Structure 1
């Protein structure tokens, strides 16, 4: 973190300037066998493309509310940082009927239809694959995002004191989010180069902090695991060793 880091998007920019090649998010889905590792540079590129989609194609503006109906997943992490880049409030698990736009996984499409604004769907397939048949009324993220620009500039400055994240009935500003992330990182001893394994969902602040924000703030990285209960006996210990994990919160 630097003195100019006031939002999560600022934290990512600083990480990109410092160590673009280091791992930032390593994602496992033990239901499918998927493993994806994203360096800071690769993750930032996905964030830039997604922010351009959000601002340009979806016409999102600072202060808009986006209902984020996605599990703990590397693409969810991308959307959270894209929202921060544009100044959109990411309402994790929020009511689509009260949102300006919605981003949904394959299991929440019917719920997401309550949104009267733009709707985006993610198949959450390995390698960021698209839907075999796009869901009616939704833009398929995997179809729309590849053509977006690799650099992002917001149309309007992002206010660090505006609401940036809502989860579990609590709203945090961008500045408050950074402050809390730094405190959480210090509380568990996360330092630059550390690797934290998290099997927690993204439906609580603890899951979001362990699984994204605290390691980002600390200059660390996260091994984000979905469906850990399907991992074979002894598999978690092997993963901790092979991924050089220094901190672990499996659930």
Structure 2
């Protein structure tokens, strides 16, 4: 990756310039059997559309805070990079009442209603499907995002030293996120072409780093697994082989 990259959005741009066709995020949900694979280009397209929704329709910008109440999921990864692209602070599991925008999955809608700003809900259904009936008081991400532009340009330059991510009671700047991601990638032994399987949730830095930021910083890719505990040891071994996994974190102990 480019050593001059200072924000997560910079890392994504470098990945796109280097090899847009390679896999970046492969997502499994072992409760539903869902599998989604996104190349760098496809993931970047989702990020651009989400960033346009955030900046345009939701009127969010630098200095705003977004409470992110989503599990480890490929759409969550897109929201994290969209926030980084706009300059909005992504507050993982942050208090909705203190946020300018809340983004919620189907299991946290009641708590998310405390947000007095804009509210977005994700059904987290296979293939990015919409809610059968939009939740009251929320815009459905799957309805709103398809019409957004495929290219994104921020209204204001993103400050690498501004707050970018809050998780576990710690707030990191964009530059902090990149620096930590590079350090973690080195500690994990990730290199261009590595594929790391992560079964960790997205509610800690470790989960966010191994499941998104570290592989992005290293030019690697992630096999992101939700509900991995429902997969047998044999099934996990088969996945590691079929996905050409080189590194594993957060796998069940019995596996």
Shared fold (TM-score, shorter chain, > 0.5): yes
Residue by residue, what CA displacement relative to the aligned partner does 1:73-120 show, whole Å, maximum 9, x if unpaired?
000000000000000000001000111110000000000000000000
Q: What's 1:3 paired with?
A: 3
Is 1:155 the counterpart of 2:155? The answer is: yes
- In 2, the alpha carbon distance for the partners of 1:226 and 1:175 equals 28
Q: Equivalents in 1 of 2:197, 2:48: separation in Å?
A: 25
Matched, 1:125 2:125: yes
CA distance in 1, matches of 2:73, 2:93: 14
What residue number does 2:181 align with?
181
Rounded to whole Å, the distance in 1 between the matches of 2:222 and 2:232 is: 21
- Where 1:91 maps in the other structure, the secondary structure is strand
Match of 1:227 in 2: 227
Superposition map of 1:45-194 within 5 A: 45-194=45-194
After superposition, the CA RMSD in angstroms is 0.6
Q: CA deviation at 1:188?
A: 1.1
Alignment gaps of 5+ in structure 2: none
Match of 2:37 in 1: 37
Shift of the alpha carbon at 1:65?
Answer: 0.4
Tell me which residue corresponds to 1:245. 245
TM (norm. structure 1) is 0.99
Separation (CA, whole Å) in 2 of partners of 1:182 and 1:3: 10
- Structure 1, unmatched stretches of 5+, are none
Kindly state the Cα deviation for residue 16 of structure 1 after the two structures are TM-superposed. 0.2
- Count of matched residue positions in the alignment of Structure 1 and Structure 2: 251
Q: What SS class does the counterpart of residue 55 from structure 2 fall into?
A: helix
**In 2, Cα distance between equivalents of 1:233 and 1:221:** 22
Q: Which runs of 4+ in 1 moved over 3 A?
A: none
Cα distance, 1:4 vs. partner? 2.9
Separation of aligned partners in 2, 1:160 and 1:33: 38
Post-superposition CA distance 1:206-232 (Å, at most 9, x none): 000000000000000000000011113
TM-score between both structures, scaled by the size of structure 2:
0.98
Please state whether the residue corresponding to 2:41 is helix, strand or coil.
helix
Give per-residue Cα distances to partners, 1:162-200, cap 9 Å, x unaligned.
010000000110001100000000011100000000000
